[in-house]
Structure 1
Amino acid sequence: MSVSLRHLTCLAALLCSAVPAFSQSSSNGIAAIVNGNVITKSEVRDAVNAQEQMLRMQYQNDPAALQREMATLKATALDGLIDRELVLAEFKRMGAAIKSQWVDDDINGIIRESFKGNREAFVKELAESGMTLKKFRDMREKMMIVQAMRGKQAAEQPPATPAEVEAYYKKNVAKWRSGDMIKISTITVAKFSGEATATPASQKKMAQEIHSKLVKGADFATTAKTYSQDSHAEDGGAWDWMSREQMKPSIANVAFNLKTGGLSSVIDDEAAYIIIACDAIKYGNSKPMSEVRQEIERAISNEKSKAVIDKWMEGLRKKAVIKKNGW
């Protein structure tokens, strides 16, 4: 399957997969019932399939963490499917309809852009993925309904005021700043230390105990020399000045949010648990507000739209009868 079609199929499965009849889902397992409409466990599995494979690779040596992440992923996917059903039900209650031509135009656009206009190749790839053209069309139609209903709620938001723009700029000025430099110290506890009795769980417990010592006033450099398992341990965990670009994004995001003298929580990295201390930070130059005003106005507009949609969705949830089943 082409990358474009795979993306569309996964997205459609998350938002707009058709709801099977109750009798069809009994052997499949029921994840939730929304106003009498069934969401099956297989629908949830379809929605999380791609992300699940990534999580299994990331946490292949940490079964407990994998289980937690998978539970969160499935819960999020199920909530998304429930919200989809609520929106579709509201669309039906309004007596609204979507023009068949709009759906045809949408699918023709996919064929034109992803398959160079070759409809037979498109249908063949659908078949190879176990999907009929009718089912794909139904999924796309429901996706368009959900998008239209959300867009209707978010339409005509008041423009950002000068005060809102200024407040947003001050709060997020780091987004438009370049040249920041930081000096950090780290304590690293490997998830697998090489000891026969060491497990990710026991190593995490050790990292948390080390963190508690630091919070209570233990000297970071001395503690790093005693416990840290990275190449900077002998230096008390100290690193030279680094830019954000020189650091792993997950570490940089934590480090640059610390103040000088600040201490991070225990970071669950891919192969280790890490504690960061910010020793010093030098900020670069920021773009003036006038240069990023339009970007800020769009961001504020998006935030307002999201708030309106969230409030609308909360209202739909309160009026609905929703029953979630356990996994």
Structure 2
Amino acid sequence: MPPSLVMISLRISLFALVSACSSALAQQYTNSIAAVVDGVPIASSEVEETIKAQEQVIQFQYRNDPDRIRKEIILLRQNAIETLIDREILLAEFKKIGGTLKAQYVDEDINGIIRESFKGDRDAFVDELTKSGMTMLKFRDLRQKMVIMNVMRARNAGDHPPATPREVQDYYDKNVDKWREGDQIKISTITIPKFTGEPGSTPAKQQKLAQELRTKVVQGADFAATAKATSQDSHAENGGSWDWMYKTDLMPAIANAAMDLKTGGISPVLDLETNYIIVSCDAKKLGNAPELEKLRPEIEKMINQEKSKANLDKWMESVRKKHVIKRFQPSTTPPAPPPSAP
């Protein structure tokens, strides 16, 4: 990764830590309260900063897939307040059991961050922390809370039986597509731009046009003829037809839509950055997935993680009932994602 992208990623990570972990910040805000857990307020602005920080991570991670960004942000906003509520519950439960945390554990956590993200350069770490508006003392306090939360999660994940051969086989069969490499797709597209520059044209009208064209094709209109007449991309004169492409060479939103279709199937209208696109899956050549035995250790680990999460979710559900939780506002409606990076 180029140095500039490394620093962007580190700043995003630090901002996420600052925003997501600090219960003390809630008392510094003068705006409305989103929730209260056992008398500890969670400010609306803290929720928004948590969302903003994680939105940056999502936008960086999925910058070439606007549709995925939109879905992830919707999910993030639905869960933001509940995540902060659970944080306060975990800290309260740690205090209730008389838990203490040795300073060396926090030291090890911070040293691990410096070692892994800053190649052991403590000065670079402190400099980046300063740019994020944080003192070392405050950052240490945040990391202490994070370590406590991880301790409580591990403590209550519980024991569970190891993954069985049947569970491993079922997991492999269900997820084999994500391990397969070398998939090739032949597609055709109809592309309708959101912005035409013509008087009276709007993205909403263009979306309606795309929906109407899809309906015609699904009802039997010839895809190639429709593409030649209406599509506005470089493939239009060929009836929208593309050459064979490796899945990994296509925009993820288009590739995933095509792979989800049966041969001859027509996708929903895809809402991309500047266009509405209809995809026809003309043909597929599936690649090969590694044999089960090669993936067995990885699959067993994933299954065990799922079982631990199920145990933790069950414990969290029961412990929430022991705390006084008041919610004052729902998550806000997500904005449209920004343009993807070139």
The TM-score normalised by the length of structure 1 is 0.82
Shift of 1:199: 2.2
Alignment of 1:97-116 (within 5 A): 97-111=100-114, 114=118, 116=120
CA, structure 1 residues 252+128, in 2 after alignment: closer, same or farther (shift >3 Å)? closer
Matched position secondary structure for 1:33: strand
Question: What is the aligned partner in structure 2 of residue 93 from structure 1?
Answer: 96
**1:60 match:** none
1:13 to 4, 14, 18: 18
In the TM superposition, residue 72 of structure 1 has moved relative to its aligned partner by 5.8
Select the residue among 190, 193, 212 that pairs with 1:187.
190
Which of the residues 32, 45, 53 maps onto 1:42? 45
1:112 Cα deviation from its structure 2 partner: 5.6
Conserved 8 A contact 2:15-2:132: no
Q: Which residue of 1 aligns with 2:326?
A: 322
- Aligned 8 A contact 1:31 1:41 in 2: yes
Equivalent AA in structure 2 for residue 224 of structure 1? A
| Alignment: residue pair count | 316
Mapped pair 1:29 → 2:28: no
Report Cα offsets for 1:255-277 as digits up to 9, x if no partner: 11221122221211121111111
Counterpart amino acid of residue 246 in structure 1: D
Q: How does 1:244-259 map to 2 (within 5 A)?
A: 244-259=247-262
Q: Percent identity?
A: 53
Change (3 A) 1:106 1:124: same
* In 2, Cα distance between equivalents of 1:185 and 1:157: 48
Letter in 1 for 2:243: D
1:214 corresponds to 2:214: no
Kept in 1, the 8 Å contact 2:26–2:42? The answer is no
Deviations 1:252-303 (CA, angstroms, capped at 9, x unpaired): 1221122112222121112111111111112223322122111211222222
Report the TM-score, using the length of structure 2 for normalisation: 0.79
Q: Take 1:5 and 1:56, find their aligned partners in 2: how far apart are those partners?
A: 14
Correspondence for 1:300 among 271, 278, 303: 303
Query: How far has the Cα of 1:141 moved from its partner?
Result: 0.6
Counterpart Cα distance in 2 of 1:259 and 1:67? 25
Aligned partner of 1:62 in structure 2 is none
Alpha-carbon distance in structure 2 between the residues aligned to 1:125 and 1:242: 42
Q: Distance in 1 between matches of 2:82 and 2:44?
A: 12
Secondary structure at the residue paired with 2:313? Answer: helix
CA distance, structure 2, for counterparts of residue 277 and residue 34 of structure 1: 51
Deviates more, 1:259-268 or 1:222-231: 222-231
Q: Could you tell me which of 268, 277, 293 is aligned with 1:265?
A: 268
CA, structure 1 residues 266+314, in 2 after alignment: closer, same or farther (shift >3 Å)? farther
Q: Which residue of 1 aligns with 2:155?
A: 152
Aligned to 2:64: none
**Which deviates more from structure 2 when the two are superposed, residues 288-297 or residues 103-112?**
103-112
- Residues 72 and 191 of structure 1: CA distance in aligned 2, closer, same or farther (over 3 Å): farther
